[in-house]
Amino acid sequence: MSEHRVWVYGDHVNTDVIFPGKYTYTLKTPDEIAAHALEDLDPAFAVGVQPGDVIVAGRNWGCGSSREQAVTALKYVGVPVLIAESFSGLYFRNCINQGILPVVCSGLRDVVRTGDTIMIDRLSGEIHAAGQVFAMPTLSPSVQAILDAGGLVPMLQRRFGESAR
Amino acid sequence: MTGYTFVEKALARAAGASGARAGDILDVTPDVIFSHDNSAAIRRIFEKIGAPRIAHPERVAITLDHAVPAPTTQHAQNHAEIRQWVREQGIRHFFEVGRGICHQVISEEALVLPGETILGADSHSTHFGWLGAFGMGVGRTEMAALWATGMLWIRVPDAMRVTLTGRLPFGVTAKDIALRIIGDRGADGGQYRSVEFLGDALASLSLDERAVLPNMMAEFGAMSAYLPPDQAVFDYLETNRTRDYTPLYPDADAHYADDSALDVSLLEPQIALPHSPDNVVTLSRAVGQPVQQAFIGTCTNGRLEDLCAAAAVLRGHKVHCRLIVIPASAQVLLEATRRGYIETLLEAGATITTPGCGPCMGNHMGVPAPNEATISSGNRNFRGRMGTPDAPVYLASPYVVAASAIRGAIADPREFLS
Ligand code: SF4
C-alpha cells in the first residue's frame, strides 16, 4: 500500500497540452522535458509536483499526436501511475512501453480533488480514496514485467544481455 | 454466457488462449509483422535491444513504398541500409521500389489470411480487416521488440458493431460510407475499438471497395476493423496463399460496446474539408471550390476499381488542373494498362507515376505549393499532411477527384457518368 497525492484533470486532455509540440525537437534532457510537463494545461503542475504524485483524469487522456514525450515528461517528474476513466489507445501503449502504470478506473475522479491523498495497493489491485474502494484492472505478467523493468527497451536489453551492443 | 466478438476470438487465437474478453491484456504472437521505409530506424532501436537476430524472419515483410524511387540521396541511403538489413537477416518477403504500397502488396501476396493477426509499423494497418484478419498499427519501438521476440502485448479492444444495409447508389462508394461514419461520430468515435462491420451491404461491395472501410477506420481512432470474409475473399487469396486458415466470425450474441446501423442506399457523395478527416460534409456543399491539383492513389483508393472509376469519369474529357494518378501496386498498374484505363487517363491529361505512397504524406511526386488546394483520394488531411501547412487538402472518392480534375474545382461526378 502506498500513499500518493493527486492532481485531478478533466476529459480529452491531448498530448499537445501534456507536452507542447514546439519543444519536441529542442528539448532533449529529462530535466528540460520535465520542466514543461502539462505546461499548457496547468502551469502549477511542473513547479508543484513531487515524485510519487499521481494524475487522476477523465475520459480520453492523451488523445492527439502519439508523441512519446507526453509520457516521458510525466515519468521524469516522478509520476509512477496515471489514472483515467479512459486513455487514448496509443497513449496507453506508450505508458506501458515507457514504464508508467496506466490505470483505467471509473468514478475515482468524481470523489477526489487536486491535493487529496489516495492509497494504492498494487498487490490487491485496489485504490482507496474518500472512504471508497476502486478496483484496478489486473495486468498480465508480461505487461507487469515491462513496467518492473522500466519500459520495453530496458526489459529487452536485460533479456538479451547488454553485451551485444 | 455471451458470445465473442471477432477481436476477442482473433486475439485469443493469436495468444494461444482458450478465450479472451475486451480489456484483457494478452501476449500475442502475430502471424505477420511488417514495416516499410521506416525499417532502418527500427533497426537502430533493435540494435539497442541487443537481440542477436530477428526471431522469425519468415514472418517479416518489408516494402519500400513511402518515398520511391528515392527522391534524394538521403532516401536512397535509407533504402540501401534496409536492403543490407534484409540480406543480413534473410527476410524473404521484401518488396522493392515500385512493387506498391505495403498494405496493398501484402494483400495481393496473400501473406496474411482470414482469422490471422498482422501488426505493422504503420497506422493504417487496420487495412487487413478487409480480409477478416486482425490488423493493428504499432510504434517503432514495438516493431523492434516484435523483431526481437516475435511477441507483443495487446489489450483486447472493446468492439463496436456497424451494420450496413442497402445498396450504394450509382457514383457513391465505400469511401463515402467511411467519411460519413467518421464525420458523424468524430475522429475519436472509434477510439481503442475494434470496428466490426456487418450487414447485407457488404456482399455487394467489390473487394477493392471493402478495403477502404477498415483502412479509413484508422482516422476514426480504431485499433482494428473487421469485415466478415466471404467466398469472394477466399477465392482472391487462393492463388498465392501458402498456409491453411480458419476464418473467424463474431457470435450473434457477442457483446458490443456500441451498435449502430447505416442504410447506404440513402448516401450522397461526401467530402472531408480541410484540415481533419472528420470535417465531413455532403459533396454538394463544397462544389465549386477551386483546386489546383487532384490526386488519385494511396492505400485507400489506388486500386484497379478506383482507376476504373476515374477513367469512367474522365473518358472524353480534359483535365483543368494537375491530375496525378499513382496506382497502389505494380499489379494494379499492369491490369489498368491492359484494360485501357491508363490510356484513357493519359488522354484526359493525367500524369501517372511509380506505384507507392507518392505525395500522400508530403514526400514527393506531387506535393502542393503553399496555398494550393489538393483534392485527394487518400485518407488523411491534417494540416501539413502533404508537406506544407498552408496547403488545404480535401478527401473524397476517386469519382469526385476525377470530376474535380475536369472542372479545376470540386465537382459532382454524377454529371459525367451516364
Ligand atoms: S499511401 Fe499514405 S496512408 Fe497509405 S501507407 Fe502510404 S503514406 Fe500511409
Q: Please give the distance of CA B172 from its chain centroid, rounded to a whole number.
A: 19
How many angstroms is it from A38 CA to the middle of ligand 1? 32
Examine residue A42 and state whether it is found in any structural domain, yes or no: yes
Examine residue A116 and state whether it is found in any structural domain, yes or no: yes
B49 — contact with chain A (CB < 8 Å)?
A: yes
User: Nearest CA of chain A to the CA of B23: how many Å?
Assistant: 8
Q: Are residues B249 and B107 in the same domain?
A: yes
User: Nearest CA of chain B to the CA of A24: how many Å?
Assistant: 17
Examine residue A105 and state whether it is found in any structural domain, yes or no: yes
Examine residue B267 and state whether it is found in any structural domain, yes or no: no
Ligand 1 atom with least separation from CA of B328: 1
Examine residue A152 and state whether it is found in any structural domain, yes or no: no
How many angstroms is it from B96 CA to the middle of ligand 1? 16
Tell whether the model's pLDDT for residue A164 goes beyond 60.
no
pTM of the model: 0.91
How many angstroms is it from A48 CA to the middle of ligand 1? 43
Ligand 1 atom with least separation from CA of B123: 8
Comparing alpha-carbon positions, the chain B residue that sits nearest to A104 is: B23
Chain A residues in contact with B139 (beta carbon < 8 A): 66, 90, 93-94, 97
pLDDT tens per residue across span B249-299: 999 999 999 999 999 999 999 999 998 899 999 999 999 999 999 999 999
Q: Are residues B106 and B217 in the same domain?
A: yes
| pLDDT-based confidence at residue A25 (cuts at 50, 70, 90) | low
Q: Which residues contact B21 (CB under 8 A, 6 or more apart)?
A: B8, B156
How many CB pairs (< 8 A) connect A and B? 76
Which whole number is the average pLDDT over B95-112? 98
Which whole number is the average pLDDT over B41-48? 93
What pLDDT is recorded for position B388? 86
Please check whether residue B119 is in contact with residue B42, taking contact to mean a CB–CB distance below 8 angstroms.
no
Indicate the residue among B262, B296, B329 that finishes a domain. Answer: B262
Select from B39, B62, B99, B122 the residue to mutate for testing ligand 1; criterion: most ligand atoms less than 8 Å from CB: B122
pLDDT tens per residue across span B292-320: 999 999 999 999 999 999 999 999 999 99
Coil/strand/helix, residue B54: coil
Which whole number is the average pLDDT over B36-44? 94
Examine residue A154 and state whether it is found in any structural domain, yes or no: no
Ligand 1 atom with least separation from CA of B360: 2
Strand order in the sheet with B60-63: B93-95, B60-63, B32-35, B117-120, B134-137
Indicate the residue among B211, B234, B262 that finishes a domain. Answer: B262
Q: Which residues contact B72 (CB under 8 A, 6 or more apart)?
A: none
With pLDDT > 70 as the criterion, what percentage of chain B qualifies? Answer: 100
Which whole number is the average pLDDT over B100-121? 98
A63-67, B66-70, B77-81: segment of lowest average pLDDT? A63-67
| pLDDT-based confidence at residue B409 (cuts at 50, 70, 90) | very high
Tell whether the model's pLDDT for residue A24 goes beyond 80.
no
Q: Residues of B numbered 134-193 whose beta carbons fall under 8 angstroms of chain A's beta carbons: which are they?
A: 138-139, 141-142, 144-145, 148-149, 151, 153, 155, 157, 188, 191-192
Number of separate domains in chain B: 2
With pLDDT > 70 as the criterion, what percentage of chain A qualifies? Answer: 95
Coil/strand/helix, residue A132: strand
Indicate the residue among B262, B280, B308 that finishes a domain. Answer: B262
Tell whether the model's pLDDT for residue A163 goes beyond 60.
no
A18-32, A52-66, B381-395: segment of lowest average pLDDT? A18-32
Closest CB to A140 among B138, B153, B191:
B153
Query: How many CA atoms, within 13 angstroms, populate the side-chain half-sphere of residue B84?
Result: 8
With pLDDT > 90 as the criterion, what percentage of chain B qualifies? Answer: 92
Burial class (CB in 10 A: 0-12, 13-18, 19+), B55: middle
pLDDT tens per residue across span B171-223: 999 999 999 999 999 988 998 899 999 999 999 999 999 999 999 999 998 99
For testing the chain A interface, which of B28, B122, B141 should be mutated: the one with the most A CBs within 10 Å?
B141
Q: Are the beta carbons of A160 and B45 separated by less than 8 Å?
A: no
Q: Are the beta carbons of B49 and A156 separated by less than 8 Å?
A: yes
Q: Are residues B14 and B69 in the same domain?
A: yes
Q: Are residues B281 and B217 in the same domain?
A: no
| pLDDT-based confidence at residue B23 (cuts at 50, 70, 90) | confident
Q: Please give the distance of CA A79 from its chain centroid, rounded to a whole number.
A: 6
Q: Are residues B332 and B247 in the same domain?
A: no
We report the CATH number of the domain holding residue A16 as 3.20.19.10
Tell whether the model's pLDDT for residue A162 goes beyond 80.
no
For testing the chain A interface, which of B38, B45, B46, B49 should be mutated: the one with the most A CBs within 10 Å?
B49
Range of the domain at B129: 6-262
Which whole number is the average pLDDT over B41-49? 93
Position A94: which residue type? Answer: N
What pLDDT is recorded for position A161? 83
Neighbouring-strand partners of residue A7: A55
Tell whether the model's pLDDT for residue B243 goes beyond 80.
yes
Q: Are residues B210 and B347 in the same domain?
A: no
Tell whether the model's pLDDT for residue B71 goes beyond 50.
yes
Burial class (CB in 10 A: 0-12, 13-18, 19+), A74: buried
| pLDDT-based confidence at residue A37 (cuts at 50, 70, 90) | very high
Examine residue A161 and state whether it is found in any structural domain, yes or no: no
Number of separate domains in chain A: 1
| pLDDT-based confidence at residue B139 (cuts at 50, 70, 90) | confident
Coil/strand/helix, residue B218: helix
Examine residue A18 and state whether it is found in any structural domain, yes or no: yes
DSSP for B268-323, written as a single string: PPEEEPTB-TT-EEEGGGTTT-B-SEEEE-HHHH-SHHHHHHHHHHHTT---SSEE
Q: What is the mean pLDDT of chain A?
A: 89
Coil/strand/helix, residue B418: coil
What pLDDT is recorded for position A30? 86
Examine residue B96 and state whether it is found in any structural domain, yes or no: yes
| pLDDT-based confidence at residue A165 (cuts at 50, 70, 90) | very low
Examine residue A151 and state whether it is found in any structural domain, yes or no: no
Range of the domain at A133: 2-137
We report the CATH number of the domain holding residue B320 as 3.30.499.10
Cα distance between residue B12 and residue B9, in whole Å: 5
Neighbouring-strand partners of residue A103: A83
pLDDT tens per residue across span A91-142: 899 899 999 999 999 999 999 999 999 999 988 999 999 999 999 988 878 8
pLDDT tens per residue across span A65-76: 667 788 999 999
Q: Are residues B277 and B253 in the same domain?
A: no
First to last CA, chain A: 38
